[in-house]
Structure 1
Amino acid sequence: MKILLVGYFTETSKATITRHFPEGWDIVIVPPGEEILRHIEDCQVLIPEHVKVDHSLLSKAAKLKLVQTGAGYDNVDIAACSELGIWAANAAGVNAQAVAEHVMALLLSYYKNIPFLDAFMKNKMDQHQLEYTGSELAGKTIGIIGFGAIGKKVAEFCRVFELNVLAYARNAAAQSDGFVKMTDFDTLISTSDIVSVHTPLNQQTKQLINKAVFQKMKHTSLFINTARGGIVNERDLIDALKNRDIAGACLDVFECEPLPTDSELRNLSNVILTPHTAGMPDGLKFHKKRYDFFVNNIKRVENGEEPASKLNQIV
């Protein structure tokens, strides 16, 4: 069984990931680029990060049985997989706990001003000269865009912190437990103190959050994105932060990843950044639950079964 992982991994993360697969499986980890073509022809499973999986690439994969992604699959042409008889599956919900915890960590870091206070202490500044602002979470309203596994877990955590929770879902059938108030998009963005994005990236959500949206948000609001960078017009976000149309942002995902070193986001004092690690709580590029799921799903396909969390149907 040959497994091809495509993405940016350090030698440490490569070793950690490889050890997690069964002994005897051939695990090949390469960055995006020409090297993919050397391995795509004879691999049975493709796990793609930072690479577009289109018809052209898939047509070269003569032995491919499964394209396995994490939670997001916006980089995979599902129709092409179906046409070529290749299963496509994601790992929906596997990282819900991890991402929701990351959202709460960002929330607390922002409102308790942890990055600033940490730097203050480490720079050995005079405590009598300390000036900062902060806030409690209780009583604030958080608006959750997208109410799937992650959005629901965030809402569950917010209950403990006594936040009021609004949620918007394109799926009209999405239900709350009564604690969460389902509402329309415009009401959510205009009345929330915190707006947190948890929707997939697709044609309907691409650059959903743009200048017009930021102008409708409260000037005191915090924007959080741990979903996909492409859901947000990044230029509009930077302008909104610089013009103080919104108060701040906490970002784990970006339009271009890795985030360019010259990105203005790196220099804004009202922004907290993390490098797309919300769903990887166990260490660099690794989440045990995620890879447990991958291994089990690969075994299912190897045994002639349908994969769990399948995204297509093949004959």
Structure 2
Amino acid sequence: MTRLRRGEQRWNVALKVVRVGRPITEEQAKPERAKLASVGAELVLHPYQGEADLIAAVADADAVINAGGRFPATVINAMTRCRVLVQGSVGYDAIDVEAATARKLPVANLFDYCIEEVAEHALTLSLACARRLTFMQDAVRSGLWRRDWAAMRERIGLVERLSTQTLGIVGFGNIGKLVARKGGGMGWRILAADPFVDPAIGPQHGVEVVPLERLLAESDIVTLHVFLNQQTRQMMGAPQFALMKPTAYLINTCRGPIVNEAALIDALRRGQIAGAGLDVFEFEPIEDNNPLLGMENVILTPHTAVYSRLALELNRMQPFDEVVRVLSGRYPRGLVNRALRGQLPLADG
């Protein structure tokens, strides 16, 4: 491809779109290539191999899709031709959005591609914890049910009716609202905590919006649905676990570093909370020696809350839809740095 200096126009030269991160095959890339061809763009597949290699790969890109790399300010400042940077997930903590905004580079995320799946996974973990499902399954598999019914009941412990319990939703954005809607039929009383949400909207969603401290103190299930940023990193630590009931469970399907994992392990060991349902971890994949693996009151899934056939298909195609929108002169649907709206030669709609 012909290389052009910044400011030069490209005549009869295809626009360059770089997809960074998890590999896909050429066969899998065919629909994406066809979509980009409609706006005169070509696709370059590039594995993430560190910052220096990434800078070389994206320096002359007209658009970039991030499917597993990291984009600090040093990389963003090198992207002198880029017209949009699309994060191939809901969370965009891998991108320095502040640096992108300073360069007037729009950042987009896939804000709604998997919200149904994540909400359902959070509720699945919540129900499994509340019903002590793993203890019940173990009673069958181990033969305890057959050998000693009284011992089985003691091991399972008491299970509370959901209509007597409180579900606390931390973060009341798209996913948090879906958790409330889908979980409302279970009979829970539902609390929500979000500093950016007007408490007056609570009743229309079937929730009461309260301060985080009250939510932690009153909830039997605490489920996390916040973006990872400097304000939310390790927002759940020892002081927060100390506020929770000893019978309460923590559910995390958003980002691992939201939780101080060492403090969580300590709270579980000391019986400060009853258990947890975790799809995400501070360090992934989880190490073989992580104490969480040996805790029978913890349900673990491998960062798969997003999984469904439809969500995976949307995850593959939506980033290219966003690129096509911008290269066609429109703002992306999932514009993250909204301060740029109206500042760029792009149209709404």
Instruction: Name the TM-score class by shorter chain.
Output: 0.7 to 0.9
Structure 1, residues 92-145: CA drift from partner, whole Å, max 9, x if none? 233211110111111222233444454565667763346234454332101111
Residue 105 of structure 2 aligns with which residue? 86
Identify, as 1 or 2, the structure richer in helix.
2
**1:293 corresponds to 2:304:** no
Report the CA distance shift for 1:114/1:179 in structure 2 as closer, same or farther (over 3 A): same
Contact 1:139 1:163 (C-alpha < 8 Å) held by counterparts:
yes
SS in 2 for 1:219: coil
Distance 1:266 1:254 in 2: 12
CA contact (8 A) 1:90 1:311 kept: yes
- The gaps in structure 2 that reach 5 residues or longer are 1-15, 345-349
Which amino acid is 2:303 matched to? H
In 1, are the aligned partners of 2:223 and 2:250 still within 8 Å (CA)?
Answer: yes
Do 1:140 and 1:193's aligned partners in 2 also have CA atoms closer than 8 Å?
yes
- Paired AA for residue 82 in structure 1: T
Consecutive unaligned residues of structure 1, counting only runs of 5 or more, are none
After superposing the two structures, state which structure 1 stretch, 135-144 or 157-166, moved more: 135-144
Tell me the residue number matched to 2:335.
Answer: 310
Q: Residue 273 in 1 paired to residue 310 in 2?
A: no
Counterpart for residue 251 of structure 2: 224
Q: Helix, strand or coil: the match of 1:235?
A: helix
> For the residues of structure 2 that align with 1:111 and 1:75, how far apart are their CA atoms?
33
Question: Which TM-score applies when normalising by structure 2?
Answer: 0.79
Distance 1:237 1:17 in 2: 40
For 2:212 and 2:145, locate their aligned partners in 1 and report how far apart those are by CA, in whole Å.
Answer: 46
Query: CA 1:231 to 1:126, structure 2 compared with 1: closer, same or farther past 3 Å?
Result: closer
Alignment length, in residue pairs? 309
> Are positions 1:53 and 2:71 aligned together?
yes
Residue 110 of structure 2 aligns with an amino acid whose one-letter code is A
Of 140, 154, 159, which aligns to 2:165?
Answer: 140
Q: Give distance in 2, aligned partners of 1:281 and 1:67.
A: 25
Alignment of 1:177-256 (within 5 A): 177=204, 179-256=206-283
The alignment partner of 2:309 has SS state of coil
Where does residue 32 of structure 2 map in the other structure? Answer: 21
Q: Which residue of 1 aligns with 2:94?
A: 75
The RMSD of aligned alpha carbons is 2.6
- Give, in whole Å, the separation in 2 of the partners of 1:233 and 1:20: 41
Check conservation: 1:4, 1:39, Cα contact below 8 A.
no
Equivalent residue in structure 1 for 2:117, among 98, 112, 134:
98
- Secondary structure, aligned partner of 1:18: helix
Report the structure number with the largest CA radius of gyration: 2
Identity of aligned residues (%): 28
Which residue does 2:3 correspond to in 1? none
Change (3 A) 1:43 1:184: same
Task: Say which of 84, 87, 97 aligns to 1:66.
Answer: 84
